[in-house]
Structure 1
């Protein structure tokens, strides 16, 4: 929620920074093309060959894996040989400037791009008896690293730090019974979902503190994941709105549930300690020429029955998966629908990688995307591997998914960035530049 009629100084400076970074990046590209008009495009082609060959090596064994690996290495060496050190520096500089421009644009345009997802938000006063549960092991120890216990005490928020063997749900329920009027969680997305479910069941406001590893939920709430302690401001004067939650069976999730390749890989005991090598060892059996199809049965986007998918994703809201500018983020969390994506790869791994690299994932023949209020996945297997908010589970079939529209009241700080990356991407580069110019000049802008 933003009621301002003119952008504040922070947003205006961010807009200026974004425009300068964008201009500098374009200048570097023009300079590089002027020096080597053919070499740079050829280098990009060789990089694509490297990616395709590497993927081919991952999903095959034996001679095919060796041959593809040789091609990948040769193409990568070609890139290094083709470009001199100044060109390599130029590429790195362009990537850095693009990242800086995107980050600054998110701050500058955050209020405008968040206007749709934050509809119905309103300002609320400080919590009277705020409680924050904390997982001290999550995110490599972010609770301790960001001094969240001390910060909570400074703000008058009661901190409950988990100990080995504690039942998180029981602690949350006890906090409510003891009179908490706002409850929050500092931890990963799985823990966020569990405490959010307790808040939902008592219709209490919830505060998300991104103290996990990836913090996808916090990202889509428009929080700054790099400034963990800043999220505690949600217990003070804050913005409150209702968002959706989703269910698989009787289990709440805030992000998504995945089945197929990813869910099977993360079930491996070795995955947490050696992600890359574990995935490389399993992918030939999952996506290679002799791979057995996953037994996942559901009704597709066209209403026809489907009996397999290599990747099946059911999400709380719709993810932007066809555009890498906002890959893996959601534009809104209050649309009242499940987002469903199925990908059937078959022998077309190379085409899939090329489509994703070219931001054309939606054009891949085996890609389907649609929405529904509920969804059922069946299988001949009694238990199916499912990754729910990043946690590896085995759940009984059939799997019944449904959305709970507006189920959770969530509080975020007044000065939070306010929009996920997909919000800025959705506006398009041209309109975003127009918006940045307006904000830099002291005028408000809306993405609507």
Structure 2
């Protein structure tokens, strides 16, 4: 598989502009972001896992109760077999690559169902995989609805592992179906309400710039988006003023236009949900500082939106929007313990972030926060070598890094007496 992984990565590199254009048209991603992240990180992922294909190995284990020199115990890492993958609509090709590259590197075959609303890059990928020399039957792309195709994969007795990225609600259904079918192994990357805590001793310029990116990146359709920003009282008003000022400069428009910063939402039902989300927030007392409306042009465009004065009991403080809606809350100066407690007061645990120049404060946050990823003085900085996945109702299991291989391997223990 080493050569096939590399050939596939090379073909994706050769077709990167075409893939980025398809991704932009099909998902609404801004072309420049699609080229760099959606496609660029997909290519990096295939090259990374190519390096693991010939390095999967077990261990030799000493047995404490055995007579010396009479026993040998070792483990073998083996492929699971047929694996099912169900991927979302926010990063169609990248989520396919994150899961499938590790799955194939571990020696499995795969059946993948891309999101029904944007399957085109998956189909182009299948064409490139055949050109790369991957044998027939190793990669199988099946399009269709989650209720039909996704459920069929989860329920099929020949599928021994299912990897899913999507909502917590659908993840619960999938986990139940996998259990009732054949107890197939499951990894789930689900919803998030990631907290971003901004202390007054931060680099404010950087906190404003990356705070905006933490919410508006990929038009908010980003599983690790900062669902709630906690800003220390002494800089709260200035932070809000500056993010409003900078957000007004964002260019909303045609995702294929190279100057566009913010494209359309993926589909109409999602746009409608986001408008309802904003309406609920304002009715419950959040202050609409900017945006909040559908853009007056053809397409599913939503203005980047800023809600301030968000209180802990509000709907927008608890529920994920999965859109370009910044929810800002204030915390008392110096209340490190209190803001960490508030940040942890969620059933989600995918990602988190903190901005401060105080290293001890940053490390206290990292140690105390109940989330699978912690960003310190940065945000959205994922890497193909770093494991990615959440806690609590954000799911379990890892994509990327060495840890991802274990999601698609089974461990066999062999003991020999001689």
Q: TM-score, with normalisation over the residues of structure 2?
A: 0.28
Q: Which has the higher contact order (CA 8 A, sep 6+)?
A: 1
Q: TM-score, with normalisation over the residues of structure 1?
A: 0.27
